[in-house]
Amino acid sequence: QSALTQPASVSGSPGQSITISCTGTSGDVGGYNYVSWYQQHPGKVPKLLIYDVDNRPSGVSNRFSGSKSANTASLTISGLQAEDETDYYCSSYTSSDTWVFGGGTKLTVL
Amino acid sequence: EVQLVESGGGLVQPGRSLRLSCAASGFTFNDYAMHWVRQVPGKGLEWVSGINWNSRNIASVDSVKGRFTISRDNAKNSLYLQVNSLRPEDTAFYYCVKGISGYYYYGMDVWGQGTTVTVSS
């Protein structure tokens, strides 16, 4: 049950788009469409951004979108804003009947 | 509004036990799976355990199997985590998290504020 692989950090300028990758295996990301993304500001609880690969809960901005190709899921944030600067985590259901998270990515808005 | 309020954390010696509780409100508790997720301050998230709406299916991460037990009482709108044989590496913030549907493989949406477990002699 190894953690999913995310880049430690990404950065972008206001108004730009960035993509955060989340790489797993055929036993997790590649094998199921149960991939979620969370945003966590310092000292706050995680907030669900995307579930089932590309579904947005009500109330989440349409600037956030998800996708998946083979064993890699991606979170794209368009129209980058200063408030987007924080940590992002992916997660996936696995063939071991468990959930696994990525190590987290820190987004810096330049 | 969905609310999840954890309790039961604290400072405990290695090898001892705790029972974490989560009081749920604002949704039909017995329609949804529930999870426990932990986080070492400043570090990443680790899924600990999940339970289906009817308690018939339960799963846990390997590192806690045989030591942690998740359970729920739908009549009391409550989720529990019995944590035994605690180790220093179990020190973390423990979150109660609502499932997206009745089955834990559908993922998690709303998170509680968490309760701190510190294992130290």
DSSP string across A59-85: TS-TTEEEEEETTEEEEEE-S--GGG-
- For chain A, what percent of residues have pLDDT higher than 70? 99
Cβ neighbors of B109 (< 8 A, separation 6 or more) are: A48, A51, A57, B97, B98, B99, B100
* For residue B87, pLDDT beyond 80: yes
Predicted pLDDT of residue B107:
87
Residue-wise pLDDT tens digits, B31-77? 999 999 999 999 999 999 999 999 999 999 999 999 999 999 999 99
**Mean pLDDT of the region A32-56:** 97
Task: Dump pLDDT digits (tens) for B24-40.
Answer: 999 999 999 999 999 99
pLDDT of residue A66: 98
Q: Summarize the confidence of residues B6-20 as an average pLDDT.
A: 97
Residue contact A104–B45, C-beta within 8 A: yes
Residue of A93, A100, A101 lying closest to B105 (CB–CB): A93
pLDDT in tens, A78-106: 999 999 999 999 999 999 999 999 999 99
DSSP state of A8: S
CB contact under 8 A, A34 and B106: yes
Task: Give percent of chain B with pLDDT exceeding 90.
Answer: 96
CB contact under 8 Å between B47 and A45, yes or no, is no
A1 pLDDT above the threshold of 80: no
Contacts of B105 in chain A (CB under 8 A): 32, 34, 93, 97
Evaluate if residue A42 carries a pLDDT over 70.
yes
